Structures are given as C-alpha cells and as structure tokens.
Amino acid sequence: MTIATDNTDPTAQKSRRNRKSRRSQKPPRCRRCRQRTTKSYVGPMNPVGNAGRPYYKCEPCGTFACFGDKRGIHASNLPCDCPGSKASRVHLTGPGRINTGALFYKCARGRCGFWEWKCNAYGDQEYYLGDILAPEEMAKLGF
C-alpha cells in the first residue's frame, strides 16, 4: 500500500504568504521624488464622502499617492500601467474642481502615472450628480 504525502511544509507556505502580504503593505514611493509616502486619514469635514479614509501622501513634496483601501477598485475598471495590468480605482472630482462630479480612473496603488476619464459606451464622460453621502454610502455606489 502506497501513501501519498505532501512534502511541502505548511508553516513554510504560511510564512511565504505572510512575507508577501507584508511586502504589499509597504507604503508606496512617491512618483515625483521617490521618497516613501506616509499613511494619513482624511479629515471628518471632507466634502466628497472620503472622511476617515486612509491615504498615502509624500511629506517632502506634498504629493498625494493613493488611498489605502480597496474602495473604488473593481475588476471591470480599466487596467493601469503597472506590471501585471492591475485594476485601476474610480475617483470622483470634488466641488470647486474642473468637471465637478466627473468620474475618472487612476492607478489604485499610486505606482504608475495612469489616469483617464471614465466614459460610457458612447465615449461620453461619466458624472456623479447625486448628493455626497457618508463614506460607507459612497463606497456602495462604487467610488
């Protein structure tokens, strides 16, 4: 009688997974000055439903890198220019900006320069014209 055994050490597999997840938790580098970014949280008075969201910002040059959550990242989003064609994140332009309420795609991890307006099947730019809601409600809308 032959007994099949799995020679892989389950603790070694778990260790490799943990190393990989720790690597992905490193703050991204700033695309402008290549310094490590710092994790912060959006203030409570944010006018576009982002209150309390984690984000990464470069302190030396003041550049916003990316949000530190999964909100707005969908498999159906356009891929960014990162190796492996990762899904981008949908963003919403805030009040007082050019094209207030316009939706756009941006690299979700802040590593490449991908940025593009979100358009419908006819090539028309898409807008969110509803009320700005609490962050969890905005997340339910997909951005």
State the pLDDT confidence band at 13, using cuts at 50, 70 and 90: very low
User: Does residue 20 lie within any of the structural domains?
Assistant: no
Q: How far is CA 125 from CA 40, 99, 101, 105, in A?
A: 31, 10, 11, 12
Q: Are 42 and 50 within 8 A, CB to CB?
A: yes
User: Does residue 64 lie within any of the structural domains?
Assistant: yes
What is the tens place of the pLDDT at every residue in 102-116? 999 999 999 998 999
User: Does residue 25 lie within any of the structural domains?
Assistant: no
What is the tens place of the pLDDT at every residue in 31-84? 899 999 999 999 998 888 899 999 999 999 999 999 999 999 999 999 999 998
| pTM (two decimals) | 0.76
User: Does residue 97 lie within any of the structural domains?
Assistant: yes
Total domain count for the chain?
A: 1
Which helix (DSSP H) or strand (DSSP E) does residue 57 occupy? strand 54-57
Distance CA 33, CA 48 (A): 28
Report residue 26 as tokens: 């490193």
User: Does residue 28 lie within any of the structural domains?
Assistant: no
Q: In which domain, by residue range, is 107 found? A: 38-141
User: Does residue 15 lie within any of the structural domains?
Assistant: no
User: Does residue 12 lie within any of the structural domains?
Assistant: no
Quickly count: other Cβ atoms within 10 Å of residue 42's Cβ: 16
